[in-house]
Amino acid sequence: MAKDRGAHNEQACKQVDGEMTRFFELFGKRWTGLIVAVLTEQGAYFADLRRAIPGISERMLSDRLTELATAGLVVREVDAGPPLRVAYRLTDAGKALEPALKELSRWAEKNLPSGGEGCPEQFRG
């Protein structure tokens, strides 16, 4: 780090950019990203979403879907049935996230080992 000190002085006043902040305001919350990831495959009923995401509660799923709808990424549609059911699908804005999610998935495959919390760099093979 010491050799970076000149550049560091400029860095000291910098703030994280607005786009990243807006992105992680929405997605830096538990479950939000997984809900969108499931919906990129296709629209789903509430119960399917709950089943697809192990550990999510009904309340959390409902709150996150409301946030995603408010942000314009998800739409809610009532299927008159019977049985009457509520389906969710991505808007065009939501669908436009798919390439980035695929890239994150590839990154995770390479860089976040499954089974556990990951492993500090010095212990890797």
Distances (CA, A) of 5 to 16, 71, 99, 103: 20, 40, 37, 33
**Cα angle for residues 56, 103, 92 (degrees, 5° grid):** 70
CA-wise closest residue to 56 among 81, 40, 37: 37
The least distance separating a second copy from the CB of residue 59, rounded to whole angstroms, comes to 17
Contact 88, 49 (CB under 8 A): yes
Minimum Å gap between C-beta 64 and a second copy is 10
Nearest distance from C-beta of residue 26 to a second copy, angstroms: 7
Strands annotated E in 10-105? 44-45, 74-79, 85-90
Report the nearest approach of a second copy to the CB of residue 62 (Å): 17
Q: Given the complex with a second copy, which of 16 and 59 has the nearer CB atom?
A: 16
CB 87 within 8 A of CB 43: yes
